Amino acid sequence: MKKYATILLLLLACTVEAQNVQLHYDLGHSLYDDLSARPSVTTTVEMFKPDRWGSNFFFIDLDYYSDGMAGAYWEISREISLANHNTWALHLEYDGGEATKQAVKSYAESSSRFQHAFLAGGAYNWASSDFLRTFSAQVLWKYYFKGQYRGAYNSVQFTGVWGVSFGCGLFTFSGYADLWYDPDVQGKWSFAAEPQIWFNVDALRGCKDVHLSLGSEVEVSNNFVYNDDGANNRFYAIPTVAAKWTF
């Protein structure tokens, strides 16, 4: 599943609220023979809203085959400021979702629930004085509740989120990287990162408010993406062709 947390820190720096919808055409099934069951299309809905105590953020990923839905995944988080600014914050988060049997071939059931998780920890947020460069680092305790195929267990996750605007607002380079402990994978650690590059079409007309953006994302992962054999012990670099509308 994809994760799009990059808007969180970009908007945190500006202390405004916003929502966006993204459409991604995934090239994984064309580049890798063992990803033939990977859905081709993903839509993502994101929402960020700050308040006097911190901020709320969530995203929902919906994956599609040509004949219907392949799966859904969401994350929702709350950051509580630890001072009169958002530099240091307490981060609380829930992750969960579901995929069809076609998307995860190794499971005998008609579908598979992702083992849902709760995360808590600290976040450090930074922005340049002009808000064109942003960065966040999070250290989180991660608790997996009892799932379909294994019991509950504790984990840890390290997250980095960045955003850079350049070219007089024409381009945005953003992304995230996660590293977390997973006892079921090779080496006991999983990694996923999704750098994105966006061309902000409205900036061509000198508009400060960006609505339409065109670009690409590359999902870089190790011990994370499930292939046709039901294994998640490989490295992949999977690009997309994408469009985004910001409300």
CATH number, domain with residue 99: 2.40.160.40
Q: Is 209 exposed, middle or buried (0-12, 13-18, 19+ CB in 10 A)?
A: exposed
Count Cα neighbours of 157 within 13 Å in the Cβ-side half-sphere. 28
Question: Between the CA atoms of 93, 162, 21 and 101, what dihedral angle is there, to the nearest 10 degrees?
Answer: -60
The owner of tokens 């063992």 is 34
Provide the pLDDT for residue 187: 87
Q: Are the C-beta atoms of residues 14 and 208 closer than 8 Å to each other? A: no
Say what the pTM is.
Answer: 0.88
Structural element, H or E, at residue 89? strand 88-100
- Asked if residue 47 is part of any domain, the answer here is yes
Q: The dihedral of CA 137, 131, 52, 83: what is its sign?
A: positive
In terms of C-beta density within 10 A (0-12 exposed, 13-18 middle, 19 or more buried), how is residue 38 classed?
buried
Residue 23 in any domain: the answer is: yes
Q: Quick one: DSSP state of residue 223?
A: S
Cβ count near 242 (within 10 Å): 20
Show the low-confidence residues of the chain (pLDDT under 50).
Answer: 1-15, 106-110
Distance, in Å, from the CA atom of 217 to the CA atom of 243, rounded to the nearest integer, reads 10
Question: Cα(126)–Cα(84) distance, rounded to whole angstroms?
Answer: 14
The answer to whether residue 117 is domain-embedded is: yes
Q: Is the Cβ–Cβ distance between 139 and 160 less than 8 Å?
A: no
Domains contained in the chain, number: 1
Query: What one-character DSSP code corresponds to residue 146?
Result: P
Distance CA 169, CA 204 (A): 9
* Residue 110, domain extent: 6-246
CA 205 centroid distance within chain: 30
**CB atoms inside a 10 Å sphere around CB 35:** 20
Determine the pLDDT at residue 239.
98
Q: Decide if 159 is inside a domain.
A: yes
Judge whether 1 lies within some domain: no
Residue 17's pLDDT is 53
- Beta bridge mates, 143: 118, 154
